């Protein structure tokens, strides 16, 4: 009894009850961090010595989306018939169309992940992705009409400063030791940063827009796993378009291409990314996009230590300072987090009805 009474007091003291309304949301937060840490390390481990990939990365993204679709469909079909899946798709074609926006952005994000991890080590990669936090804050305010406080903006600003500190070191290192076959150094660096910024835009806008769809009144009647099905159907279409654009549509699924993917590390990359897709939807449903950016920031500490241990990538003073700043930003945010608005009575009744019909699977 004493232990059960102590936990709520501790949560209140640390303000964790505001960050994580339920134990389930805390578990989702932790799982999200672990999976993303794994992804950066696994993708890096799948590279060759010359930092290229011995497989078609777009094909891997495509297969991952197919796996996600299978998992989401199986979870939904567990308490519903397959005919029900087809009925919902036919009935809610408008929702399927709405998910084409975040699906196309996530398609670009997932493919850029391989491009950027071929240039940056995982710690630097995740630090640079923190540029998305301020953009996420702005998009979050616009879509949800929820103004962030000064403390929240200060924590977002500190996160950005942490990224700048790390990038200063990376730019200096690139200037000193890297040559690019006659190309101008500034053009090469700008191209890499452009890829990062494009990935940042895809991440923040797709994340907030997906949260908007998951919690919106016009789409809340569609069960969560069916919304995932819509997302992954659209993602498969988008990746097919990418393969067609690159001219790899016919060669992507040849015996040679499939054999290059059937390697232990690549299979782990695919399975881990599949789990990320499912857990991200649960994260956005039970928490919010702002907290998602801070989950990504916390990944930095563990990624830096693991990359040092696994790949021998040193944690220099710039990286250490950047991580300290990011941790400080995370602490300040925890003092005044964005709290999801309480659902209206109508929404609660709707959710209760769906839950009773679907035995807990859905919204």
pLDDT (tens digit, 9 = 90+) per residue, 21-54?
677 778 888 888 889 888 888 998 898 888 889 9
Do 121 and 313 meet the contact criterion of CB atoms below 8 Å apart? yes
1, part of any domain = no
pLDDT at 8: 42
Q: Is residue 62 part of a domain?
A: yes
Q: Is residue 343 part of a domain?
A: no
Domain assignment present for residue 285? The answer is yes
According to the model, what pLDDT value does residue 71 have?
A: 92
* DSSP SS3 for 301: helix
| pLDDT over threshold 70, residue 187 | no
pLDDT at 355: 38
Q: Considering the domain boundaries, does residue 108 fall inside one?
A: yes
* pLDDT the model gives residue 16: 55
pLDDT score for 154: 84
Contact 154, 332 (CB under 8 A): yes
Distance CA 109, CA 79 (A): 32
Is there a domain that residue 275 lies in? Answer: yes
Rounded Cα gap, residues 246 and 62, in angstroms:
14
In a domain, 357, yes or no: no
Q: Would the pLDDT of 111 be above 50?
A: yes
Confidence class for position 256, pLDDT limits 50, 70, 90 = confident
Query: Exposed e or buried b for every residue in 166-192, given b needs 16+ CB within 10 A?
Result: bbebbeeeeeeeeeeeeeeeeebbeeb
Query: DSSP label at 22?
Result: S
Distance CA(111)–CA(104), nearest Å, equals: 11
Radius of gyration of the chain (CA): 21
Is 70 exceeded by the pLDDT of residue 360?
A: no
Domain count, the chain: 1
- For the chain, the straight-line distance linking the first and the last C-alpha, in angstroms and rounded, comes to 33
Cα gap 285→277, rounded to integer Å: 13
Please give the residue range of the domain that contains residue 280: 22-47+54-179+205-338
C-alpha to C-alpha distance for 242 and 59, rounded to whole angstroms: 10
Provide the 10 A C-beta neighbour count for residue 202: 21
Please report, for the chain, how many H helices and E strands are present, in that order.
Answer: 17, 0
pTM: 0.70
Confidence of residue 350 (pLDDT cuts 50, 70, 90): very low
Model confidence pLDDT, tens digit, residues 62-90: 999 999 999 999 989 988 888 888 899 88
Q: How confident is the model at residue 286 (pLDDT cuts 50, 70, 90)?
A: confident
Residue with tokens 């630097």: 124
Return mean pLDDT, the chain: 76
Any domain includes 93: yes
Does 295 score more than 60 pLDDT? yes
Q: Please tell me the distance from the alpha carbon of residue 22 to that of residue 287, in angstroms, as a whole number.
A: 10
Structure tokens, 251: 């060669």
Segment among 110-119, 210-219, 294-303 with least mean pLDDT = 294-303
């Amino acid at each position: 009894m004493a232990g059960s009474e102590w936990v709520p007091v501790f949560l209140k003291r640390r303000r964790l009850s505001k960050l994580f309304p339920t134990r389930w949301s805390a578990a989702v937060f932790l799982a999200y961090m672990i999976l993303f840490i794994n992804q950066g390390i696994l993708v890096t481990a799948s590279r060759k010595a010359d930092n290229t990939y011995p497989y078609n990365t777009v094909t891997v993204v495509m297969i991952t989306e197919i796996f996600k679709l299978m998992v989401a469909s199986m979870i939904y079909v567990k308490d519903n018939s397959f005919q029900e899946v087809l009925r919902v798709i036919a009935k809610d074609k408008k929702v399927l169309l709405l998910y084409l926006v975040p699906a196309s952005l996530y398609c670009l994000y997932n493919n850029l992940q391989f491009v950027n991890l071929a240039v940056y080590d995982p710690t630097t990669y995740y630090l640079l992705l923190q540029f998305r936090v301020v953009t996420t804050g702005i998009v979050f305010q616009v879509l949800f009409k929820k103004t962030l406080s000064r403390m929240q903006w200060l924590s977002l600003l500190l996160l950005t400063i942490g990224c700048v500190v790390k990038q200063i070191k990376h730019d200096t290192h690139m200037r000193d030791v890297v040559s690019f076959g006659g190309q101008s150094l500034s053009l090469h660096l700008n191209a890499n940063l452009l890829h990062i910024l494009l990935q940042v835009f895809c991440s923040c806008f797709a994340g907030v827009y997906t949260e908007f769809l998951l919690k919106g009144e016009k789409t809340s009647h569609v069960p969560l796993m069916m919304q995932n099905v819509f997302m992954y159907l659209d993602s498969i279409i988008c990746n097919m378009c990418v393969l067609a654009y690159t001219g790899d549509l016919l060669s992507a699924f040849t015996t040679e291409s499939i054999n290059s993917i059937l390697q232990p590390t690549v299979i782990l990359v695919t399975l881990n990314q599949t789990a990320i897709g499912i857990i991200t939807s649960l994260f956005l449903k039970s928490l919010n996009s702002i907290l998602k950016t801070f989950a990504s920031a916390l990944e930095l500490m563990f990624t830096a230590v693991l990359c040092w241990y696994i790949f021998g990538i040193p944690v220099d003073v710039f990286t250490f300072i950047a991580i300290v700043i990011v941790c400080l930003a995370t602490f300040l945010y925890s003092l005044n987090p964005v709290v999801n608005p309480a659902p209206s009575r109508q929404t609660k009744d709707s959710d209760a009805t769906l839950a009773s019909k679907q035995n807990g699977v859905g919204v």
